[in-house]
Amino acid sequence: MANSKLLALSSSIGDYLKAIYLLSLEGQVSTNALASQLGISSPSVSGMLSKLQEQGLIDYERYKSVKLTPKGEREALRLLRRHRLIETFMIEYLNYSWDEVHEEAEALEHSISDRFTESLAKLLRYPTHDPHGDPIPNADGGLPDTPNTPLTELEPEQTLLVSRLVTQDDAVLRYLANLGIQPGSSLKLTLLEPVGGLLHIVLDGNHQVISKEMASLIRGEVQT
Ligand SMILES: [Zn+2]
């Protein structure tokens, strides 16, 4: 199988590739951003980047931004597919709540086979998005479209149909779930405070106030 060699990549290499991929969706990937995403020091990140470069997984020059090669991106998407299918399975079949699944999926994504992954996809009826609203890459690495406008970009009186929450932080997900904010929610921005950046929103007829930082994690499609 073409993937058998990549399957043998250590889980930490896979975690680097995924982190680079996810950061690249938000802009250029610096060594520092990568270090803070992975929770390790910049010097150890540099060492690992040289290793990834040798294996043809990334393009990297010191002090410049890090880019995945097509091979590196394929591997990142393969892991993301596994991760998001596992999370969907845990929620739909094992009664986990959506704020409880991330750690377990991080561990399992490295140990299941392609065959297991595709059986899971079939069982779940080939979902296009996971319960956080994140797109699940398909088996050939393509990504389903996902609206991605942050709540912070709305004008007052505009409404956002939430498609995803871009965080894996359990506490943040729990907080948003308690407010009733999840994929499928519809949020109307009523007021943006001129100082401090608090956003006043209406959700199911209830007024809520959230920080700009929290609002930047809430993505979706502006309703017209
Ligand atoms: Zn996760």
Instruction: Write out the two tokens for 47.
Output: 């060492």
- 84 alpha carbon – ligand 1 mean position (Å): 7
- 102 alpha carbon – ligand 1 mean position (Å): 4
As a whole number of angstroms, the distance between CA 7 and CA 10 comes to: 8
Class of domain 149-223: mainly beta
- 190 alpha carbon – ligand 1 mean position (Å): 31
* Region of residue 27 (left: phi > 0; alpha: psi -120 to 50; beta: else): left
- 132 alpha carbon – ligand 1 mean position (Å): 8
Q: Please give the residue that has the higher pLDDT: either 131 or 223.
A: 223
Q: Is 131 exposed, middle or buried (0-12, 13-18, 19+ CB in 10 A)?
A: buried
Which pLDDT value is given to residue 7?
A: 41
Which pLDDT value is given to residue 8?
A: 44
Q: pLDDT class for 9, splitting at 50, 70, 90?
A: low
- 15 alpha carbon – ligand 1 mean position (Å): 12
As a whole number of angstroms, the distance between CA 143 and CA 200 comes to: 33
With 0.85 as the threshold, say if the pTM is over it: no
- 214 alpha carbon – ligand 1 mean position (Å): 18
- 95 alpha carbon – ligand 1 mean position (Å): 16
Q: Would you say residue 39 has pLDDT above 60?
A: yes
Which pLDDT value is given to residue 2?
A: 40
Mean pLDDT of the chain: 89
Q: For residue range 86-100, list pLDDT tens digits in order.
A: 999 999 999 998 778
As a whole number of angstroms, the distance between CA 32 and CA 6 comes to: 26
As a whole number of angstroms, the distance between CA 137 and CA 127 comes to: 10
Q: pLDDT class for 223, splitting at 50, 70, 90?
A: very high
Which pLDDT value is given to residue 37?
A: 86
As a whole number of angstroms, the distance between CA 153 and CA 192 comes to: 11
As a whole number of angstroms, the distance between CA 125 and CA 103 comes to: 24
Q: Where are the domains of the chain?
A: 1-144, 149-223
- 157 alpha carbon – ligand 1 mean position (Å): 32
Listing DSSP states for 76-95 in one string gives HHHHHHHHHHHHHHHHHHS-
Which pLDDT value is given to residue 20?
A: 95
Q: Would you say residue 209 has pLDDT above 90?
A: yes
**Fold assignment, 1-144:** Arc Repressor Mutant, subunit A (1.10.10)
Q: Would you say residue 221 has pLDDT above 60?
A: yes
- 103 alpha carbon – ligand 1 mean position (Å): 7
- Asked whether the beta carbons of 151 and 199 are under 8 A apart, the reply is yes
Phi and psi at 75, nearest 5°, equal -65, -40
Which pLDDT value is given to residue 170?
A: 81
- 16 alpha carbon – ligand 1 mean position (Å): 15
Helix (H, G, I), strand (E, B) or coil at 57: coil
Q: For residue range 162-205, list pLDDT tens digits in order.
A: 999 988 788 898 899 899 998 889 999 999 999 988 999 999 88
Q: Would you say residue 69 has pLDDT above 70?
A: yes
Q: pLDDT class for 10, splitting at 50, 70, 90?
A: low
